Structure 1
Amino acid sequence: MLRYFQETRADHAAEKLRAMVSTHATVLRDGQPAELPLQLIVPGDMVILSAGDMIPADIRLLSAKDLFVNQSALTGEALPVEKKPCP
C-alpha cells in the first residue's frame, strides 16, 4: 500500500514537471523571427539554430558553419558528426 501511494505521488510530480517544460524553436515566418512551440512548426518554416539548440524535426540545411550533431541515439556513433548543406 505504501508503494502504491509513493508511486502515485511520483507520477503526479512527474506530470507537473512535464507540464512546466516546453520545447521551443526559433523560426522565420513572414520575414520575422518567432519563438514557437515545436507542435506549431509546419513544413516551409525556416528554423534558426544556435549552439545548444535541439533540432525540432527533419530539416533541410540551407547554410551552416561548424554544425556538429550528436546522433548517437539514431546511429550509435559515439562522436558528433559534422553536417554540411547540400545544394
Structure 2
Amino acid sequence: MSLSPLAALVRTPPFAALCYGMAIVMVFSRLYGNGAFWHAAMGEHFLRVAENVAEEGIELLGYGVLFGGCLGYYRRLRREQPV
C-alpha cells in the first residue's frame, strides 16, 4: 500500500475543510465547552444546559465543515473518473 492516495488528498482544496473541521471538533469545541470558562462567564447564574448547548452547537458546526470537505472531495473524484 502506497501513500500516493493520501498525497493526492492533501493537495486538494477540500483537505483544508477537513483540517478545519477536525480542529473545530477536536480542539475548539473542547475549549469552548470548558466548565471553568462558563463558570467565569456566567458566575452564579451558571447553567449546565447552556454550556452543553454551546459545546454541542460548535461540534455540529465542525461536523458540518467535515461533511462539506468530504462532499467536496467526493465530487472532485467523481469528476476525475471516467464513466
- TM-score, with structure 1 as normaliser: 0.27
- By percentage of residues, which structure has more helix? 2
- RCO higher in 1 or 2 (8 Å CA, sep ≥ 6)? 2
- By percentage of residues, which structure has more strand? 1
